[in-house]
Amino acid sequence: MAQPAAPPATGPAGDATTGLIFARVLDGRGGARPIAWDDCAHWQPTNPRETLWLHIDRTVDSVEPWLVGELGFSEATAEALVTDETRPRAFREGDALVTVLRGINFNPNAEPEDMITLRMWANHHRVLTLRRRPLQTPQDILALLDRGTGPHTTGDLVTEIIEQLVAKIGGSILDMNDKIDALEAGGDGLGTDGTLTVIATIRRNCLGLKRHMSPQHEALEQIGRNPPKWLSENNQRDIRETIDRLKRYLEDLDVSKESALVLQDDLNNRANARANRTIYLLSVAAAIFLPLGFVTSLLGVNVGGMPGVGHPFGFWILIAALAGLVAAQLAIFRWLKWL
């Protein structure tokens, strides 16, 4: 599945009283119609193909009491849907599927590893998705429904949400790989310090993504092992493909992390080699000028009897002797393979 382009703007805010961001009734043909909040709690499908989808801001205080009082959720389930615990997981509750998944944060000034949690409860005719911060995936699927090309059934909707979350993770990994390739090619123009900063960011992103994606892979495998009946064979096959794709992304993360580490080590080794070469040349220069300094210091003492003081060519004789001393030193260093 191609990854939808991520706009820089954040998604719409939820209603301050109810937390509702949007509500749609899927018509079973790829489209959907809006539904008022007051009709959501006691909604029943008018035909077997309809599905109610509610997308809610879980930070609103009234959400948890509404889940328990109006929808009849158990307190444990309601708490799982609104709590700040963010580790991805999935479990069955009768015919319902409850999942906690993570998606890439496309909000401004966000890093890829700063992932956003999407909580989902779904049964045969009803899907609830809850988020704390704006997430792009529900908005992309809503746009498909408004165009009449969206998912048809509850199983299609749940599968589409899972697929898009994973696809956007893959896009973020590809972006990091492209950055690493550009750094390895040396066409970045950032210099050593700038390149090391970018590499450190990439490694931090890899670690953050791996920390969230590993339990997400386990959560999706749990769905595949114990799918609800309303997930069709096609839905289950698509989820298996998504699990396999996520596993490949985990492997790609390991490769990206190792590539960044190798590039970082190479840059550090080159910098150390340049520093060692500079120190070596300074040491050789010091070794050359040490005897010259000793001789000139000795001849500079202000006492009588210094040789060559009265000679008309004494200075030039000293210069020639020092030049000969330097030549002899260079020959010795060359013989010792210091140069």
pLDDT in tens, 91-120: 998 889 999 998 877 766 666 556 888 999
More confident residue, 39 or 171: 39
Average pLDDT rounded to a whole number, residues 145-164: 94
Query: What token pair was written down for 271?
Result: 């910098």
Mean pLDDT score, 263-274: 83
pLDDT digits (tens, 9 = 90+) for 206-260: 887 888 788 899 999 999 998 999 999 999 999 999 999 999 988 888 888 888 8
On whether the pTM is more than 0.95, the answer is no
Average pLDDT over residues 292-317: 72
Collapsing DSSP to helix, strand or coil, 56 comes out as strand
- In angstroms, the CA 53 to CA 77 distance is 18
List the one residue out of 163, 140, 150, 129 whose CA is nearest residue 33: 150
Q: What pLDDT is attached to residue 113?
A: 59
pLDDT of residue 157: 96
> Quick check: 51 and 175 in contact, CB under 8 A?
no
3-class state of residue 25 by DSSP: strand
Could you report the per-residue pLDDT of 277-293, keeping only the tens digit for each? 888 888 888 888 888 88
What angle in degrees, to the nearest 10, is found between the helix axes of 154-185 and 233-299? 20
Would you place residue 5 in the very low, low, confident or very high pLDDT band (cuts 50, 70, 90)?
Answer: very low
Q: How many Cβ atoms from other residues are within 10 Å of residue 272's Cβ?
A: 10
> Do 161 and 231 form a contact (C-beta atoms < 8 A)?
no
H or E element at residue 119: strand 116-122
In the chain, where the domains are located: 20-269
Q: What is the pLDDT of residues 195-216, one digit of tens each?
A: 778 888 888 888 878 887 888 9
Which pLDDT band, with edges at 50, 70 and 90, does 162 fall under? very high
Percent of the chain with pLDDT over 90: 35
Architecture of the domain delimited by 20-269: 2-Layer Sandwich (3.30)
Q: Which long-range contacts (CB under 8 A, 24 or more apart) does 291-296 make?
A: 291/325, 291/329, 292/322, 292/325, 292/326, 295/321, 295/322, 295/325, 296/322
Q: What is the mean pLDDT of the chain?
A: 84
